[in-house]
Amino acid sequence: MKAILVAAGLIVALAGCSETAPDEEVAASEEVTYPGVPEEQAAQIRAAGKVIDPASFAIFAPLVPPPPYDDVTMTTDLAYGSDPAQVMDIYTLNDAPEGEQRPVLIYVHGGGFTGGSKQGDYYPQSATAWAARNGMVGVNIDYRLAPAAAFPAARDDLAAAIAYVRANIAEFGGNPDRIFLWGHSAGADHVADYVQYTEMQGPEAAGVKGALLLSPAYALEMGTEPHVYYGTDASRQTAAPVIQRLGAARIPLMIGWAEFDPDNFHQFAEAAQTTLCAEGASGQCPRMLYLRDHNHMTEGASIGSADESLSGPFLAWMRGI
Q: Using H for helix, E for strand and C for coil, what is the string for 58-91? A: HHHHHHCCCCCCCCEEEEEEEECCCCCCCEEEEE
The pLDDT value recorded for residue 32 is: 84
Interval 218-222 mean pLDDT: 96
The pLDDT value recorded for residue 30 is: 52
Does residue 58 have a pLDDT over 50? yes
The pLDDT value recorded for residue 7 is: 37
Fold (CATH) for 3-319: Rossmann fold (3.40.50)
Q: Measured between alpha carbons, how far is 115 from 189 in angstroms, rounded to an integer?
A: 14
Interval 139-162 mean pLDDT: 98
- Using 50, 70 and 90 to split pLDDT, how confident is the model at 26? very low
Report pTM.
0.92
The pLDDT value recorded for residue 245 is: 98
Q: Which residues 6+ apart lie within 8 Å of 154 measured at CB?
A: 113, 143, 144, 145, 190, 193, 229
pLDDT tens per residue across span 254-296:
999 999 999 999 999 999 999 999 998 888 999 999 999 999 9
**How far, CA to CA in Å, does 2 sit from each of 5, 10, 207, 248, 300?**
10, 18, 27, 20, 24
Does residue 2 have a pLDDT over 80? no
The pLDDT value recorded for residue 201 is: 98
Q: In this structure, what are the phi and psi dihedrals at residue 222, rounded to the nearest 5 degrees?
A: -65, 145
Q: Measured between alpha carbons, how far is 211 from 4 in angstroms, rounded to an integer?
A: 20
Q: Name the residue ranges covered by the structural domains of the chain.
A: 3-319
Measured CA angle at 32 (ends 27, 34), to 5 deg: 155
The pLDDT value recorded for residue 13 is: 42
- Considering only CA atoms, which of 108, 120, 254, 118 is closest in space to residue 183? 108
Interval 108-119 mean pLDDT: 97
pLDDT tens per residue across span 3-14:
333 333 444 444
- Give 30 or 227, the one with higher predicted confidence: 227
Interval 95-106 mean pLDDT: 95
Q: Using H for helix, E for strand and C for coil, what is the string for 96-111? A: CCCCCCEEEEEEECCC
Helices and strands of the chain, counted as H and E runs: 11, 11
Q: Considering the chain, what is the average pLDDT of its residues? A: 91
